[in-house]
Amino acid sequence: GIQVEQSPPDLILQEGANSTLRCNFSDSVNNLQWFHQNPWGQLINLFYIPSGTKQNGRLSATTVATERYSLLYISSSQTTDSGVYFCAADTGTASKLTFGTGTRLQVTL
């Protein structure tokens, strides 16, 4: 099956800093999603982005499908951005997603 790798595994930022999280995948994808797992364990969908670029407030994501990677940008980070960010991918269309191991982000004051 598809392999999904994320980097860096851990990231510590001061409030207000920007960051880039990377996701590499081993096969062509029809489905690529980014999630945030907050400190209480809730998984929230951030983006559905099998290709192209999307923005939602301080977050944006870009997927370059031909080169098999996706990037999540967080600008002007806030303490509420803390948690684990997961990338998940599927080669089909049914959202049978394979998750990466995540990037754990801690934003400090």
Q: Which is nearer to another protein, 83 or 102 (CB)?
A: 102
The answer to whether 97 contacts another protein (rule: CB under 8 A) is yes
Residue 2 CB, nearest distance to another protein (Å)? Answer: 12
Residue 82: in which H helix or E strand, if any? none
* Smallest separation (angstroms) from another protein to the CB of 16: 29
Minimum gap (Å) between residue 109 Cβ and another protein = 28
Q: Are 34 and 61 in contact (CB under 8 A)?
A: yes
Beta bridge partners of 108: 14
Nearest to another protein of 44, 64 (CB atom): 44
User: Between the CA of residue 68 and those of 2, 17, 42, 62, 86, what are the distances in Å?
Assistant: 11, 27, 27, 11, 16
Pick 34 or 77: Cβ nearer another protein: 34
